[in-house]
Amino acid sequence: MTAVFTGASTLRYFSGRKTMDKTIQTPRLLLRQPKLSDAGWMRDGLSNFAVASNMLVPHPLEIDQMLDWLQKGQVNTGAEETAFCIEHQKDGGVGSVSFVKKNGNAQLGYWLDERYWGRGIMSEAVKAALQWYYARTSADIITSGVLHFNMASLAVQHKLGFVEIGRSEVYCPARGADIEHIDTELTRDVFEAAII
């Protein structure tokens, strides 16, 4: 499976500034920039304890918090500060994949509505987002990680070439506790070898 990056070119011009095309099409999914109109379904998905308990998001998540995050995402940013909504071709919005800059590298984060777990959707979306990121940057390393009990998410990462580089403790608001976190890393060469 290869992701298609839509648009006439990878760069578009907006108000005299270059902006990246941030739309990806896969066989089942459309990854696109978030819009304010996504706030409701995103808040509902992230407010589900089964999802939130695997993440570091506020819990319960209020609509104002979701709108604030979406408004910040409207700012023109580089690849290392990009969020994608995941739209299933039949069902609409089902989750998100994002990159944030942390300690000089892009850090990958993602979530999927519980109703869509176990269908390979997140593997498809993360692979496409990683292909997009590496096609637009000269970066070698992307970091990520999972809470130690989230083996499904760790399997997505392992499949794409991420390796464990350490352990840390993070606060999970939904659980109200510090939780062991498996820190992971992906290099460009390993990713390219993993997707062949």
Where is pLDDT greater, at 70 or 19?
A: 70
What is this structure's pTM?
A: 0.88
* CATH number 3.40.630.30 given to 4-138: yes
> Can you tell me the distance from the alpha carbon of 52 to that of 102, in angstroms, rounded to the nearest whole number?
21
Question: Where are the domains positioned within the chain?
Answer: 4-138
22 three-state secondary structure: coil
Give residue 78's pLDDT. Answer: 86
> What is the distance between the alpha carbons of residues 74 and 59, in angstroms, rounded to a whole number?
23
Instruction: Supply 50's token pair.
Output: 């089964």
Q: Dig out the tokens for 65 from the structure.
A: 């918090």
| Beta strand 17-20 pairing with 11-14 | antiparallel
> What sign for the dihedral angle of Cα 23, 192, 79, 21?
negative
pLDDT of 20 reads: 66
Mean of per-residue pLDDT scores for the chain: 90
Tens digit of each residue's pLDDT (9 = 90 or more) over 64-76: 999 998 988 767 6
Q: How many CA atoms lie within 13 A of 196 on its CB side?
A: 6
pLDDT band with cut points at 50, 70 and 90 for residue 77: confident
